[in-house]
Amino acid sequence: MNPFDGSGSPRCEDAERRDGSRCPWARFSCWLECVCVVTFDLELGQAIELVYPQDVKLTEKEVMCFLLHFPGCLGDTQFSFRLRQSVGRRAARTREDVYNRDAPVTLQTEASHFFGFVYFRQVKDVSVKRGYFQKSLVLVSRLPYTHLFHSLLQLVAPEFFEKLEPCLETVCHEIDQWPSPVPGMTLNLPVMGVVLQVRIPSKSDKPGGSPVRAVELLPAPTLLPTIHELDLFKCFQPVLVHLQMLWELMLLGEPLVVMAPSPTVSSETVLALISAISPLKFCCDFRPYFTIHDSEFREYTTRTQAPPNVVLGVTNPFFIKTFQSWPHVLRIGEIKMAGDLPKQVKVKKPSKLKTLDTKPEKHADMNTPERLTLGIQRKRPSEVQSAIIRRHLLELTQSFIIPLERYMASLMPLQRSVTAWKTPPQVRPFSQDEFMSTLEHTGPQLTSMLKGDWMGLYRKFFRSPNFDGWFRQRHKEMTQKLESIHLEVICDSVRPAGLDQREVRGGDRGFDPEAQRETG
């Protein structure tokens, strides 16, 4: 198979053809773009050994990216990366649009990027000329299901490294029998004699709600309580005292470099950081594991312009000097370079950025870092510690975003202004000054124990890609709601007299911020 193809092509727009038969690999492609095996060849260096399904066309740029995300760690290593897809590649838009309609914005498929989930093994092997067995199994997907795909790799990769190609082919055919990921559904996913039971989150889920409950089956399935969440306590334990500041950096989409000792720590830390503002979608670029071979290396390391809005995870000591001019650098672990002795954890940040401060005297309870420190002393389970962190970050984000949601809802025209024979009215323009004037009586100080320059934080947020992404999504939803109301008014106007008029949900206005808890 020639893996180089400039256009790329989806295998099938829909799971079934018009005649009712199923397209080859249709269900597989609902979950994964492809599975790649990268190996080390004495003559060629890194090389792609296998690609499944075999009809997948990868561009030369994509192939090079898979090859060069090849770490030098001994033993088994798991990590993630994210790459920009090549120009001209098409996705199965119909299927993805249906999924995205009901999925939380933080879990929607990406039209312009792929995620790579990697299981890399490097062990001594006397049967190999170089003396080492080096191979990576890579799952490529548009879905950010980090926990699910790494759990899948933990099942498949060790078996694959022993049995090689026949094992991988069997697994791919098993995935092709999986049901499609439908938001709100609990699914059973059989693979290699194990049934993974997962629930696909829905945009109608309450933020911070209960995890999936097991559905009884025989034999008992392996329950994954989440498909995407990380162990936040493990990721943030080295930087707990900086947690609030890191939340603020992510909210504002500030440039940040995470320097870590391994691809695992690098990718998990970056993914944990961008999830810190959930359920608000992180709309800037992010690279969980970034190398000097990435196609955007020059773009992101140029010193002729301000750093872009991107979060980069790196492990190469070369980056210590390359990114020394960046405004925010987070070092975790020991990345050593001649003449450089970094501290175990170091955060570089201008003090003027921080706008919020905790006021312990305003608390009846201890603050979150203290609770987590006490949990360490008492050997509290990591799952409980992670739940405390997730709850704290959720409360921060909701306190910040609810005033924006409330003001945005006020821009919706009254339902009685929608008439049958006129075009529907438009959403009123967003006025930053008008919004600021509402904060005294409806601001985040009413729900958050944090005190500080909230207005200054909002002004910075208005200049960030995260605000632009949130506003565009909200404006689109409100416009669609107006069009729906307009259509119902037209239908009611031509309905014969005596039939009941169907009420439009949402009361006098067509948009209810309390009914829409999902923010993006």
Asked if residue 331 lies in contact with residue 342, where contact means CB atoms within 8 angstroms, the answer is yes
Distance (Å, rounded) from C-alpha 470 to C-alpha 292?
Answer: 32
Distance (Å, rounded) from C-alpha 286 to C-alpha 282?
Answer: 9
Q: Please determine, for residue 463, whether its predicted confidence score (pLDDT) is greater than 80.
A: yes
Q: How would residue 209 be classed by pLDDT, with cut points 50, 70 and 90?
A: low
Is residue 37 assigned to a domain? yes
Structure-token pair, residue 254: 């500030």
Q: What is the mean pLDDT of residues 181-206?
A: 94
- Please write the tens of the pLDDT for every residue from 41-81: 766 677 888 888 888 877 767 777 766 666 767 789 999 99
Residue whose C-alpha is closest to residue 257's, from 303, 323, 322: 323
Is residue 91 assigned to a domain? yes
Residue ending a domain, among 290, 316, 350, is 350
| Whether residue 176 sits in one domain with residue 33 | yes
Highest average pLDDT, of 1-10, 256-265, 302-311, 320-329, comes from 256-265
Q: What is the mean pLDDT of residues 370-393?
A: 90
Residue ending a domain, among 180, 199, 223, is 180
pLDDT reported for residue 81: 94
**Averaged pLDDT of the chain:** 81
3-state secondary structure of 312: strand
Is residue 247 assigned to a domain? yes
pLDDT reported for residue 93: 60
What's the CATH code of the domain at 342?
3.40.50.11500
Q: How would residue 511 be classed by pLDDT, with cut points 50, 70 and 90?
A: very low
Asked if residue 313 lies in contact with residue 285, where contact means CB atoms within 8 angstroms, the answer is no
| Whether residue 159 sits in one domain with residue 76 | yes
Q: Please determine, for residue 506, whether its predicted confidence score (pLDDT) is greater than 50.
A: no
> What is the pTM assigned to this prediction?
0.84
Q: Please determine, for residue 494, whether its predicted confidence score (pLDDT) is greater than 60.
A: yes
> 28-37, 117-126, 186-195, 248-257: which range is least confident on average?
117-126
- Give me the domain span that covers residue 72: 28-180
Q: Please determine, for residue 214, whether its predicted confidence score (pLDDT) is greater than 60.
A: no
367 vs 192, more confident: 192
Is residue 287 assigned to a domain? yes
| Whether residue 139 sits in one domain with residue 45 | yes
Chain centre to alpha carbon of residue 278: 9
| Whether residue 68 sits in one domain with residue 144 | yes
Is residue 86 assigned to a domain? yes
Compute how many other C-beta atoms are within 10 angstroms of the C-beta atom of residue 95. Answer: 19
Number of domains in the chain: 2
Distance (Å, rounded) from C-alpha 365 to C-alpha 380?
Answer: 18
Q: What is the mean pLDDT of residues 120-141?
A: 84
Is residue 383 assigned to a domain? no
Is residue 217 assigned to a domain? no
- Please write the tens of the pLDDT for every residue from 261-290: 999 999 999 999 999 999 999 999 999 999
| Whether residue 49 sits in one domain with residue 151 | yes
Is residue 371 assigned to a domain? no
Asked if residue 312 lies in contact with residue 290, where contact means CB atoms within 8 angstroms, the answer is yes
| Whether residue 264 sits in one domain with residue 326 | yes
Q: What is the mean pLDDT of residues 383-393?
A: 93
